[in-house]
Copies of this chain bind each other. A is one copy, B any other.
């Protein structure tokens, strides 16, 4: 019901010669938002996922709209909400803003794979249930 929240500072390493975030670095921040959500929101850290459970969650599709540039020193507020839970896939919506100003909106589709076989695999009931807690409630669903 509530989106996952995380803050990330715009560091020197993120910025291009215009002192704005170089957009490939935004994807590192997007990935870190997902990584932190799995670790603290779903209680399934990437180390456990990748190295013990033989799972990975590659991105199948991602699209980003950039609304305004971010600059060195900005502190970005990231939020992640679940848009759709599929059998082995997941759609998330990620938004970054700074001081209330929208910076980007991202929609991403992840798919869970078994690393050793390279095949997609269904989410466990437990993970699905935890994901549900971050699902956006639309007017239709809540009404």
A residues at B contact (CB < 8 Å): 11-13, 15-20, 22-25, 27-28, 30-32, 35, 45-48, 50-51, 56, 58-66, 69, 71-73, 115
A51 CA / B26 CA spacing, docked (Å)? 21
Q: Given A12-B46, A32-B13, A19–B58 Cβ distance below 8 Å?
A: no
Q: Given A19-B50, A31-B23, A61–B66 Cβ distance below 8 Å?
A: yes
Contact yes or no, A50 B13, CB < 8 A: no
Contact yes or no, A11 B35, CB < 8 A: yes
28 intermolecular pairs with C-beta atoms under 8 Å apart:
A11-B35, A12-B16, A12-B17, A12-B22, A12-B31, A12-B35, A13-B22, A13-B28, A15-B16, A15-B17, A17-B18, A17-B19, A17-B50, A24-B25, A24-B28, A24-B31, A27-B27, A45-B73, A46-B72, A47-B71, A47-B72, A50-B72, A58-B69, A59-B66, A61-B63, A61-B64, A62-B63, A63-B64
Interface of A: prevailing SS: mixed
Given A12-B46, A19-B50, A46-B73; 8 other pairs, CB 8 A cutoff: A11-B46, A13-B24, A16-B17, A20-B58, A23-B58, A61-B65, A62-B63, A63-B64
A129 CA / B74 CA spacing, docked (Å)? 27
Partner of A13, one of B31, B47, B69: B31
